[in-house]
Amino acid sequence: MSSGKTLYDKVFADHVVHKDESGSYLLYIDRHLVHEVTSPQAFEGLANANRKVRRPDCTLATVDHNIPTVSRKNFKSIATFIKQDDSRLQVQTLEDNVKAFDLTYFGMTDSRQGIVHVVGPEQGFTLPGTTVVCGDSHTSTHGAFGALAFGIGTSEVEHVLATQTIIQAKSKNMRITIDGELSPGVTSKDLVLHVIGVIGTAGGTGCVIEFAGKAIRDLSMEARMSICNMAIEGGARAGMIQPDQTCFDYIKGRPLAPKGAEWEKAVKYWKTLYSDEDAVFDYDITIKASDIIPTITWGNSPQDALPITGKVPSVDDFKDPIAKKGCQTALNYMGLISGTPLTELQIDKVFIGSCTNSRMEDLRAAARVVRGYKKADTVKEALVVPGSGLIKKQAEAEGLDKIFEAAGFTWREAGCSMCFI
């Protein structure tokens, strides 16, 4: 039997505090990101039990889902700024909790505020080989750094706050190798949509997916984050990518990254984080990069991914009764007619943002497309929402806000915005 370990096996093994007879593990958690939606009951539980946060230094809180992304120039207080009752309550509750529990917090007037999954890597909070959790499904984003990162529920948020550990079962190993080079104009978002189109939204169930191959190694960290971010849309527990020089260069010098001798020590360890050659994967899938072309979703599930050269499908294209029904529901919801070429679909709203695609590289790419053009009159709304306040600043320094505004887009403050309904 092979003794080789996968990247996931290694990071998992390095965090086991205890294994019980039933086969479940108690894992140590290195990094805990907190936002306002899934933390209120967790803090309440802690307060009721008269407990403290065990590692405030490993906990980072910000507000993202419920904050208005309109200009904060006239911001005075949450009480007057946030009009919606439930949103105001969640944001205010987090503010109260970070004070009561003495946590690092990037609030609405802090330029470091942003979407948790953008803020963690940006600050150097997310590091290779760490375990990263957050009460949010897209925590898988951080796996781009070779971290084991996954979303947890509110009761688990409380458990991590109190003990810095979590109970976990070991997932299966899946590897998706993207061989060769991506064609010009094909992005990492196309790549991951194509992958989900191949494996289905339940294809990764019970697995941690390692993305490997030349096409992955050639990607920037931003692009890798988009891929791991969407690993959960393929049903996986987490997505991971082997940390390499591109990754180390991205982290170096960030506020929370290790420095000096600590940095050298860290890089030495990070270089051991790869799947051994003789490691065995439960599922091993290879996709040719040259088969991937710009890909979009025509429906309301990432599984409805099709190459841009495709047509809106019809129920007859599916064999499975559930898939047929899903297709009909999506067609009705989207108001689409089967057989329409995807390139002929009219666009009525444009939203550039979210933890999948709101980093500098994404904004630069979008600005390159719209520069010198105006949005069509049929586009009723077009917004750009940077993933963090720091990204917003950088984009403004590069004049991207002006390019977007000239094209008819609204330029917003950081947050989840239209992604969170």
Ligand X SMILES: CC(C)[C@H](C(=O)O)[C@@H](O)C(=O)O
| CA angle (87 as vertex; 86, 93 as ends), nearest 5 | 90
Contacts (CB under 6 A) with ligand SF4, residues 127-186: 136, 138
Nearer of residues 114 and 129 to ligand X, judged by Cβ: 114
Contacts (CB under 6 A) with ligand SF4, residues 48-87: 64-65
Contacts (CB under 6 A) with ligand SF4, residues 95-124: 115
Q: Total binding residues for ligand X by CB under 6 A? A: 8
Site for ligand X contains 151 (CB under 6 A): yes
Site for ligand SF4 contains 419 (CB under 6 A): yes
Greatest C-alpha distance within the chain: 65
Site for ligand X contains 189 (CB under 6 A): no
C-beta of 301: minimal distance to ligand X in Å? 13
Q: Which two tokens stand for residue 108?
A: 């609405």
Report the partner that residue 115 touches, choosing among ligand X, ligand SF4, none (CB closer than 5 to 8 A by kind). ligand SF4
Residue 117's nearest CA partner among 250, 229, 243 is 229
| CA angle (357 as vertex; 253, 161 as ends), nearest 5 | 65
**Burial of 46 (C-beta count, 10 Å sphere; 0-12/13-18/19+):** buried
- What type of residue sits at position 403? I
Site for ligand X contains 136 (CB under 6 A): yes
DSSP state of 388: B
Give all strands of the β-sheet with 283-288 in edge-to-edge order.
Answer: 238-240, 207-212, 172-179, 283-288
Stretch in the footprint of ligand X (CB under 6 A) among 8-16, 131-139, 187-195, 364-372: 131-139
Nearer of residues 10 and 65 to ligand X, judged by Cβ: 65
Q: Which two tokens stand for residue 347?
A: 């666009």
Nearer of residues 136 and 362 to ligand X, judged by Cβ: 136
Residue 32's nearest CA partner among 102, 138, 115, 126 is 126
Stretch in the footprint of ligand SF4 (CB under 6 A) among 51-59, 66-74, 397-405, 412-420: 412-420
208 beta partners: 173, 238
Contacts (CB under 6 A) with ligand SF4, residues 342-371: 354-355
Residue 139's nearest CA partner among 60, 195, 197 is 60
Q: How many Å apart are CA 276 and CA 259, to the nearest integer? A: 28
Stretch in the footprint of ligand SF4 (CB under 6 A) among 169-177, 259-267, 278-286, 413-421: 413-421
4, 278 Cβ separation under 8 angstroms: yes
Site for ligand X contains 138 (CB under 6 A): yes
Stretch in the footprint of ligand X (CB under 6 A) among 136-144, 164-172, 177-185, 218-226: 136-144
State which of residues 6, 38, 90, 177 lies at the interface with ligand X (CB under 6 A).
Answer: 38
Nearer of residues 136 and 158 to ligand X, judged by Cβ: 136
The length of the chain is 421
Site residues (vs ligand SF4, CB under 6 A): 64-65, 115, 136, 138, 354-355, 416, 419-420
Site residues (vs ligand X, CB under 6 A): 37-38, 65, 136-138, 151, 420
